[in-house]
Structure 1
Amino acid sequence: MAKMLFGRYGSVNLRTLHPATVVLHIKKDTVTMATNEILREQIFEILKNQLRDNDPPETKITYDRLIKNGFDDFQTRQMIGQCLAVELFEVMKFGKPYNNERYTKNLKALPKEPFE
């Protein structure tokens, strides 16, 4: 486990928020994180459902765009999973509801890391 400081994602490289990461403890601006394969699989399941149901459609559009740009299936799913992880982080840390506008904005910015 590693402690990381956050200030609107502060010095954290958001790659650490990929689908294998779960927030275990939040205390002021300190977040303790550890790998959690169950969460990773759940995020990939959400992604699979979004692609299957085409909801939101931006997920499939982003998936197709990244594949067309030379990323493989796993890389593409992992990048999209980062956008989902950002949403989960916002819900867990701040108790905010899922923000589809931010999610789709982050999808459109890929392969750049999600910062919103």
Structure 2
Amino acid sequence: MTESDDVMGGEEVTEIVENQLAENNPPRVKETLMRLMLEGIEREEAIEYIACALCVELDDVVNNGSAFNLERYERHLDLLPEMPWANAP
């Protein structure tokens, strides 16, 4: 998870995802976890996928001073396990 290394440690990002799941906020995170697990992806790996989608937003907030973009985050969650944004220039 190289994106998380740029923003913060992978464990910290995973903790944020776990908090989102516990609080069901945003609900799409839990929906995504369930969908990925139904597709046969182990929970830990699914959490890592979700963390990758979160890192896109965290990177934008930290490096560009942007507001967290919930709509884009949810779009990226919907694309998982594919991560087309990882290949963007």
How would you bin the TM-score normalised by the shorter chain? 0.7 to 0.9
Unaligned runs of 5+ in 2: none
Which structure: greater strand fraction?
1
> Could you tell me the TM-score, scaled by structure 2's length?
0.87
Greater RCO (Cα-Cα under 8 Å, separation 6 or more): 2
What TM-score, normalized to structure 1?
0.68
Q: Larger helix proportion, structure 1 or 2?
A: 2
Give the structure 2 partner of residue 16 of structure 1: 2
Return the match for 2:48 from 65, 78, 99.
Answer: 78
Length, aligned pairs only: 86
Q: Which structure 1 residue ranges, 5 or more long, are not aligned?
A: 1-14, 24-35
The answer on whether the counterparts of 1:83 and 1:107 sit within 8 Å (CA) in structure 2 is yes
Q: Spell out structure 1 runs of 4+ moving beyond 6 A.
A: none
SS state of the match for residue 112, structure 1? coil
% identity of equivalent residues: 36
Q: Tell me how far 1:16 sits from its aligned partner.
A: 2.9
Give the aligned partner of residue 60 of structure 1: 30
Structure-2 separation of matches of 1:51 and 1:16: 22
CA contact (8 A) 1:87 1:99 kept: yes
Structure whose alpha-carbon radius of gyration is higher: 1
